[in-house]
Amino acid sequence: MKIVAVTSCPTGIAHTYMAAEQLEKTAKRLGHTIKVETQGSMGIENELSDEDIRSADAVIFAAGIPVRNPERFAGSRILEVPVQDAIKNPASVFERLAR
Amino acid sequence: MDLTFTFPLPAGLHARPASMLQKEAARFVCSVTFVNHSRNSSADARSTLALLSTLTANGDECILRIEGEDGQSAYAALKEFVERVLPHADDGTQAVPPIVASEAARPRALKGAAALRGTAVSPGIGVGPAFHIGGASRPRKKQDGTVVSPSEEVQRFDRAVEKVQAEIAELLRAGASKTSSAILQVHRSIATDPMLSERVKAGITAGKQSAEDALASVSGDYAQTLNGADSPYLRERAFDVQDVAERILCALSGATGEPRSASPAELSVCIAERLSAQELLALGKERIAALILQRGETTSHVVILARALGIPCVSGVRGAERLLAGHPLIVDAYRGIIFQDPTKEVERFYKGEQRIRAEQSERMVRDAARPGTSRDGARLEIGANCASPEEVRTAVKNGAEGVGVFRTELAFADRENPPTEEEHLKLYLEVVEAAEGRPIIFRTFDVGGDKPVRWLPLPAEENPFLGYRAVRMYEEYGSVIDAQIRAILRAAARGPVQIMFPMVASPAEVHQLRERVQRCQVALAREGINHRPDVPVGIMVEIPSAVMLMDHLCDAVDFFSVGSNDLAQYLAAADRGNEKVRHLCSGIQPALLRSFQHVLEEAHKRGKWVGLCGELAGEERALPLLLGLGFDELSVGPRGIPRLKAWLRSMNKSECIPLARAALQAPSASDVERILQEFVSQPGAVELTESNLVVLASKATTKDELLRELLSMLDDGGRIDSVDDVLEAVLQREDTFSTAMEHGMALPHCKSAHVLVPSIAVARLSTTCQWSDGEAGVRLVLLITIPERSAASAHLKIIATLARRLMHEEFREALLQASTRETVVELILREAGSHAALPH
């Protein structure tokens, strides 16, 4: 599957990046391709382009605070999970995506 | 004759300056009246109490009205006093500000527990059973209330005052410390105040009162007047009057010895409505775990004394009289709270707190032994500025590598006559012993000008800063200086002693001074007195002409110490004591930095050592600049040493050199300020973490305790400014969702205005600790603290990479297995730092 994701957390210091790492790591293991945009204290990084979003099979929001620029995802299939779920049990996030 | 002046002390005319003025005025027969125009009050200057009652504040327009036969000489002496002694009456005495704890700062773990509140005035934690001092009220009235005869009452009063005077003299003889003897002297001047006695006696004879009633009414009047003062400091002097009156009342009642009940039998928390300094001394500090005072005082003498003796004290505690005698108490004199019969949770909190504080002071001692070194291994000695053997002992305990300047004139400030050679020698040998083998630079007398001393009566000058002072008057007062030089040469036979001359402007002066040293040495040799002949001779660099003549001075001098305070004001031609031009004297003004650079370059070219001993040396923000410029030593107040050393350990000299270069090119102090601020927010300038922020086997048993332990380490190095506030910020972040993870790791973090530098502190636990209810235990904790407004994106990038790396088991294992604190630091900075540079 081709997946795009956005991660964020209350202070934007740590969990945003931990979640991104977990999603990337797990996607690779499961044979998916993934691009993760981080919305942390350094602002938006690895930003998803319209093309990234359009061509994705699914979108994951692992967000501790509301995702910025959500209008980009209008019409996409979005799975929203708490950011800590993506860190603690990333495999289950992908399982839910498959359902 | 009228002497007009503006009152110069920020704390107003309080007890010590009042008793100094009283002493000065009492030397003359003529009448001296102190008139305060701003407040429409006046007083006989022979009465300390009357002077206090004028409620004179800083900036008040005052007049000394002098009338009588020796008026001329009184005028001259008082003019000298008002212009040159009075403005410095409070110098160096208010080193410890009162600590007023806010209730908001109470840690969560203590919220909800019943407690009494007060003001923390002497920091510490005391645990012990409650012990009430002098529960029974003291005698205020004469038992039968009768007045036998006025003359007999007057005699009783005189005898009581005499007795109090004798008691104070006894306490003074018993070897009071500097602090307590100053307090006792103030109390003596109140007890023997002529106006007090006059008014009490008037009450007895004219008012037909008993001595007790007359005294109570007069002292009540004074206390009431003082209570109306604007300055809280002056208001609290009412307590001194009350204390002295109580003491006289006790003497009147015939009570012998100490007025209150005996000392507690075991180590206890002592509770009193109020206590006098004498009573505290009499109780004996070894039996006092802590002191609770009901009266709301923050600057009273008993409080000052408690601080000096290291007794934790909370004042202004309402309801303290209801604390049950013998019941266990915990007194938190950091936060101003008191627990009776503490709950298990509160007990556990303070058990942890006591462990953390004890380890904190152990760390201080451990680090004290480490030399001042930057992170990349550059040496920068950290020495101490001292003026007494006690200060030298404190400095050694705090990690001073030497005494950068011992200010001899301060040690002999209170005298009437210049010290003899033997008196000098006694002091210097005490200092040598206290320094335990560390080098000591004795600076010869820097007196005259703005630093007048009683034992060297010099006429007042138009421009004291530019006048006849320090080495400039050594020729005229040769014997006074020779006594000092001889004593220094003799002390040098017993330890690594060096001699330094202040206010040198030219090489010619140095040649004269060296000849003088030489003459002293020859004389000592001839007299067969043990001394060291080749004591290194240095000078203060504090006059611009000395800066410009460094090449010549290097030929004649063994070492230099830059006095940044004087050099700054001489360079800018601006008096740093003058509010309106003080801003021109900035310690980081480029002209001063360029002077430093010139001095360092010329001296180092010729292999000479250069220290810095002005206030600037102790300013943490300036440290990268001073390190980059290349000073060999910084000499600072003894208490500032641990933080300065910790700060030094976290920065790289290689990064500070280009910083100094940039600052030298800046046009103004505010540009230097900006350059410094930008510098500190770069990674590499101050590292995110260091070995002192790592604990390999914490004994903490709860999340709360562990966080406080890590925060205390951040506090040591000056990375945060309030443990309790940052703790609350971290806990608030935990409230949104826990940062603990399945694999035994937690990553608590926060952004807070109380964080000064982005930092990471790391703890491994000896036994796993449960993070919060229902969660698995943690073994590894990384605490990340970020300033509220952090623009330091490079730091954030490293932290982001670190967060990612922590998701990999091999990295976590490496952190868990690392055998030294240094390896942990390396793993975090090297690994996370280098990965941050890679694209992902």
* Pairing, β B328-332 against β B337-340: antiparallel
pLDDT for A98 beyond 90: no
Is residue B686 one of the residues assigned to a domain? no
pLDDT of residue B561: 98
d(CA A21, CA A36) in angstroms, rounded, equals 9
Higher per-residue confidence, B28 vs B620: B28
> Which helix (H) or strand (E) segment is B247 a member of?
helix B237-252
DSSP per-residue letters across B665-681: H-SSHHHHHHHHHHHHT
Q: Where are the beta strands (DSSP E) in B563-622?
A: 609-612
Q: Are residues B473 and B491 in the same domain?
A: yes
pLDDT tens, position by position, B394-444: 899 889 999 999 999 888 876 778 999 999 999 999 999 999 999 999 999
- Output Rg (C-alpha) for chain A, integer angstroms: 12
pLDDT for B596 beyond 90: yes
d(CA B96, CA B477) in angstroms, rounded, equals 37
B751 part of contact set with chain A, CB < 8 Å: yes
Quote the minimal CA–CA distance from B741 to chain A in Å.
Answer: 7
Long-range contacts of B457-462 (CB under 8 A, 24+ apart): B460/B79, B460/B80, B460/B83, B460/B84
Q: In what order do the strands lie in the sheet with B31-36?
A: B2-6, B61-67, B31-36, B41-44
Point out which residues pair with B122 in neighbouring strands: B313
pLDDT for B142 beyond 60: no
Q: Are residues B473 and B582 in the same domain?
A: yes
Q: Are residues B337 and B191 in the same domain?
A: no
pLDDT of residue B146: 62
pLDDT tens, position by position, B196-221: 899 999 999 888 888 888 998 898 88
Contact A18 B747 (CB under 8 A): yes
Q: In what order do the strands lie in the sheet with B116-117?
A: B116-117, B337-340, B328-332, B125-132, B268-272, B288-293, B313-315, B119-122
- Torsion angle (degrees, nearest 10) of CA B359, B363, B364, B366: 130
What is the percent of chain B where pLDDT is above 90? 48
Contact A94, A26 (CB under 8 A): yes
Boundary-marking domain end, from B649, B680, B711: B680
Would you call A51 exposed, middle or buried from its count of C-beta atoms within 10 A (0-12, 13-18, 19+)? Answer: exposed
pLDDT of residue B573: 94
pLDDT for B381 beyond 60: yes
Higher per-residue confidence, B435 vs B103: B435
Contact A40 B797 (CB under 8 A): no
pLDDT of residue B840: 41
Higher per-residue confidence, B653 vs B100: B653
> Which residues of B belong to the active site?
14, 301, 613, 749
Q: Which of A42, A84, A88 sits opposite B800 (nearest CB)?
A: A42
- Torsion angle (degrees, nearest 10) of CA B102, B108, B110, B115: 40
**ipTM associated with this complex:** 0.94
- In this structure, what CATH number is given to the domain that contains residue B812? 3.40.930.10
Higher per-residue confidence, B549 vs B194: B549
Range from B44-58, B403-417, B549-563, B748-762 carrying the lowest mean pLDDT:
B403-417
Contact B568, B592 (CB under 8 A): yes
pLDDT of residue B105: 61
Contact B55, B226 (CB under 8 A): yes
d(CA B703, CA B5) in angstroms, rounded, equals 60
pLDDT for A47 beyond 90: yes
- In this structure, what CATH number is given to the domain that contains residue B78? 3.30.1340.10
* Matching residue, tokens 């990553």: B747
d(CA B786, CA B837) in angstroms, rounded, equals 21
Over chain B, what is the mean pLDDT?
87
Range from A17-21, B12-16, B380-384, B398-402 carrying the lowest mean pLDDT:
B12-16
pLDDT of residue B601: 98
φ, ψ of residue B142 to 5 degrees: the values are -65, 140
φ, ψ of residue B781 to 5 degrees: the values are -130, 130
Classify residue B563 as left (phi > 0), alpha (psi -120 to 50) or beta: beta
Q: How many contacts (CB atoms, under 8 Å) link A and B?
A: 67
pLDDT for B135 beyond 50: no
Among all residues of chain B, which has the CA nearest to that of A21? B804
Q: Which of A21, A46, A88 sits opposite B741 (nearest CB)?
A: A88
What are the chain B neighbours of A17 within 8 Å (beta carbons)? 800-801, 803-804
What are the chain B neighbours of A41 within 8 Å (beta carbons)? 751, 786, 790, 796
pLDDT of residue B454: 74
pLDDT of residue B708: 95
Nearest partner of B787 among B714, B837, B694, B735, judged by Cα: B714
Among all residues of chain B, which has the CA nearest to that of A37? B840
Contact A21 B797 (CB under 8 A): no
B742 part of contact set with chain A, CB < 8 Å: yes
Q: Are residues B626 and B655 in the same domain?
A: yes
- What would the two tokens of residue B566 be? 């004087």
Amino acid, single-letter form, for residue B620: E
Is residue B613 one of the residues assigned to a domain? yes
pLDDT for B612 beyond 90: yes
For an interface test with A, give the residue of B807, B811, B831, B838 to mutate (most A CBs within 10 A). Answer: B807
Q: Are residues B498 and B635 in the same domain?
A: yes
* Domain covering A2-81 assigned CATH 3.40.50.2300 in the classification: yes
What is the percent of chain B where pLDDT is above 70? 92
pLDDT of residue B43: 93
d(CA B635, CA B472) in angstroms, rounded, equals 25
Quote the minimal CA–CA distance from B767 to chain A in Å.
Answer: 23
Contact B727, B107 (CB under 8 A): yes
Is residue B535 one of the residues assigned to a domain? yes
- SS3 at position B791: coil
Q: Are residues B323 and B266 in the same domain?
A: yes
Q: What angle do CA B171, B269, B244 make, to 5 degrees?
A: 35
What are the chain B neighbours of A24 within 8 Å (beta carbons)? 840
pTM for this entry: 0.69
Q: Where are the beta strands (DSSP E) in B39-136?
A: 41-44, 61-67, 116-117, 119-122, 125-132
Extents of the domains making up chain A: 2-81
Q: Are residues B168 and B40 in the same domain?
A: no
CA distances from residue B176 to B170, B270, B448, B567 in whole angstroms, order as listed:
10, 22, 30, 38
Contact A18 B807 (CB under 8 A): yes
Quote the minimal CA–CA distance from A9 to chain B in Å.
Answer: 10
- What would the two tokens of residue B467 be? 């006048």
Give the mean model confidence (pLDDT) for residues B580-590: 89
Looking at the structure of chain B, the number of domains it has is: 5
φ, ψ of residue A38 to 5 degrees: the values are -100, 130
- Provide CB contacts within 8 A for B81, sequence distance 6+: B20, B21, B24
Q: Are residues B319 and B387 in the same domain?
A: no
Q: What range defines the domain where residue B829 resides?
A: 691-837
d(CA B543, CA B618) in angstroms, rounded, equals 21
Contact B4, B62 (CB under 8 A): yes
Q: Are residues B553 and B470 in the same domain?
A: yes
Q: Where are the beta strands (DSSP E) in B45-124?
A: 61-67, 116-117, 119-122
pLDDT of residue B834: 61
Task: From the candidates A3, A9, A27, A48, give the one annotated as an active-site residue.
Answer: A9
Contact A17 B801 (CB under 8 A): yes
Range from B163-167, B289-293, B818-822 carrying the lowest mean pLDDT:
B163-167
Contact B542, B616 (CB under 8 A): no
Higher per-residue confidence, B738 vs B243: B738
Q: Are residues B71 and B108 in the same domain?
A: no
Give the mean model confidence (pLDDT) for residues A9-34: 94
pLDDT for B483 beyond 90: yes
Contact B790 A41 (CB under 8 A): yes
Is residue B195 one of the residues assigned to a domain? yes
Q: Which of B733, B750, B804 sits opposite A17 (nearest CB)?
A: B804
Q: Are residues B510 and B440 in the same domain?
A: yes
Give the mean model confidence (pLDDT) for residues B477-499: 97
pLDDT of residue B137: 41
d(CA B403, CA B495) in angstroms, rounded, equals 12
- Output Rg (C-alpha) for chain B, integer angstroms: 30
